[in-house]
Each structure stands twice: as structure tokens, then as C-alpha cells.
Amino acid sequence: MANGSEGNGYAMQAESQPAPLDASKLKVTLSETLKPMPPLDDLAFGKHMSDHMMVSTYHPVTGWTDPEIKPYGPFVLDPVCSCFQYSTNLFEGMKAYIGPDGKARLFRPDMNMTRMRRSRDRVALPSFDTDELLKIIKKLVQIERRWFPNAPDHTLYVRPTIIGTRPSLGVAASDHALLYVVCGPTGPFFRVSRMLSLMAVSEHVRSWPGGTGGYKLAGNYAPTFMPQAEAAKRGYDQVLWLIGDKITEAGAMNFFIVLKRDDDDLDVYTPPDDGTILPGVTRDSVIRLLQAHGTSTTIEGIPQTVHVEERPVTLSEVAQWSADGRLLEVFTVGTAVIVASVGRIGVEGKDDIELPKHDIQMGPVARAIHKKMTNIQWGREEFEGWSVACE
């Protein structure tokens, strides 16, 4: 404090600490009227939300309110709240699956919680114990059991979110926050029965060295919508994001490329986690599965030995590998899609890089990884404790 208030003869006030987020204080208020279930063919990603949500708010003096699971509904917020003006918003995306034993499961939720802490700290939002949040998420998932669609490749998508609610236009960190979790049933992300087409764009960048592209901050996404609309107008599904010639990501998915080696082994490359890509849970899982392939596990459908490497990949290299006949597959990964094969890359919407054609929707490596990942996610196969039951 100013003016030497230390040791001025006054006893320090016994400070009461702001309350921590505490899952044991969870209050559950169930909805009296349940929503009708949407038909399976209407489950576009994020279109329908379940009956309940979890909410806890943070005040700088009193701390986190007792978390509450209550009927899904709107918030009332001050128009100058930090989130509306300065984008103090961040989120996570995870899926819950019903296993053969009837238990709901989350896939590597600890990784989502770690990433949420990093995002939160990057925009200086109030802290909380993410282990407590995870306990609450598991409870919400159990309460929303009737929302798990009973169909292959359908899951419950879970969206933990924090927004800064400091009610002031002062340009400063938000010392008020609202933490909430919503969820909803979701079908396969891309319903197209063909491979993805990507338009490589260098004029607009999604991320840059020292920037925030490596965090799941809401502010990273709005600036991608105009280039995405541009790509769609030219007939491409997603933008392939570059920094100069260097590939970072595709849409909001991580990028992988498969090459044939002279000894008939496979090289699999993915751009390194250098702060310019979002460190995806799916990306990490694919890397680890490929590393374990042939030793601690087998990915059925990949007979070759695989050498996986996190290394920069440039668009010119991709074009060269294609010309040399070494390029076998390009695929993208993320929680929503799991794995999607790429059939076409347009450079700034003009020349296409030739990618090998497969008569099916996925290349063999992408298909094999997709199968392996979904087996682990649904709890049909155990791998390193990745699939975590909600109980």
C-alpha cells in the first residue's frame, strides 16, 4: 500500500479469501419441462442444446458462487461487460460417449482442463481449480444422459466457457467472470460424402509468432469468418491457414500429411506446437498413437512402420512431394471431426495441388486412425486411460 502503511501501528484486517470453485457445493435444480428430442438428421453441429447448464460466477471479494446445474436459459448481462467490449472470452470443446457398458465417458478431459487454464491465464481471467470443474462436467453429463443420441458417430458435445463480466469500460483485466458449461447432441461434423477441399490463404493469417493462436480464445475465431466465407464462395470447404509458405492449420483443425519413404515405411508430419497452432487433444492423440503403432499398440489398417514427426511443413514442399509421387494422404483432425481426409488443396483459390484420389471418403491411414480413435473414445478399446468414465 501507498505511504508506508506497513507497520503504521494498525493491525492487518483478517482478510477473508474469495471462495474457490467447489464441486462439493454443487446445487442441482432440474428443469420441470424437458425439451422434445430433435430428429437425428437435424443434429448439425451445435444446433441443439440440452435441458440444463452449469453456472458459477466470480466476484473479486466473495469469489466463486456455489456451482449450479439448472435449466438451460439466457443470461442478463450489463452492456459494458468486459466480454462484449474486450473479448475476455474463451471456451473448450469436448465430447462425451456412451460405452458398451452403458457408462458415459469423456476423452482425455484433463487435456481440455489444462488448455482451459492456459487460455484463462492468457487473458487474465479469475482462477479456479479445473479439477473441480471437471467433477461438475461429469455430473452434468450424467444428468443429460437422455441427450446422447443412440446412433453411431453421434455424441454429446460439451462446451465449457468463461466470459469476463467486469461491468466497466475501463481497459483492464476482468475481475468478474461467469463460468458456464452447456452441452448438446451432435452428429458427424461433415455430412459430405467426399473428401474436404482446402483453400490455402496467405493474405489473411490466423496466428503469428508471439500471438494467441495457440489458445482457445473466442477472439481468435471472428477474424477467420470472412476468409472462410471467401473460400466457401470459391467452392472450398475450409481455409488452409498459412504463415508465409508455412502451413499452420485447416479451418479449426490440425493438419497431417502422410508420405511414402524409399524403404516403403511412412513419414507422417504435422506442424510443431510453436504457439502458432492450437495444440489439439486429437492432434496429440494421433501423434501418440502413431508413435505407439507397432510397439505398445497396433493401428489395424496401417501395415507399414510409421515415423511421425512434428516439423514445419510448407506449401511448396507439399507441391513437390505431390510432383515426386511421394504424397499419400493429407488429413485434418479435431474433436468435432475426429479425422477428415483432404482431397484437394487450392493455392489462393487458383492452382490445385494434386492429391491422391481414393474411391472412398477417407485415405487408408486416416480411416485406420479414425477407427482406432473412435474405438478408444467409445470405450471399446483401452489405451493409456484416455477414456474416462463419468461416475
Q: Would you tell me which residues interact with ligand PLP (CB under 6 A)?
A: 93, 216, 249, 252-254, 278, 280-283, 334-335
> CA–CA separation, 43 vs 32, rounded Å?
24
Query: Among candidates 38, 67, 55, 157, which has minimal Cα distance to 104?
Result: 157
Cell numbers linked to 78: 450489463
Contact 21/179 with Cβ under 8 angstroms?
yes
Contact 337/254 with Cβ under 8 angstroms?
no
Q: Rounded to the nearest whole angstrom, what is the least distance from the CB of residue 206 to ligand PLP in the complex?
A: 7
Encoded amino acid at 304, one letter: Q
Is the Cβ of residue 93 or residue 343 nearer to ligand PLP in the bound state?
93
Q: Rounded to the nearest whole angstrom, what is the least distance from the CB of residue 53 to ligand PLP in the complex?
A: 20
Encoded amino acid at 245, one letter: D
**DSSP state letter for 36:** P
Query: Among candidates 143, 156, 177, which has minimal Cα distance to 52?
Result: 143
Residue partners of 270: CB distance under 8 A and separation at least 6: 254, 255, 256, 257, 283, 286, 287, 308, 309, 310, 311, 313
Residue partners of 263: CB distance under 8 A and separation at least 6: none
Element (H, E) at 119: helix 109-122
Residue in this structure with the C-alpha cell 471437471, named with its chain if needed: 134
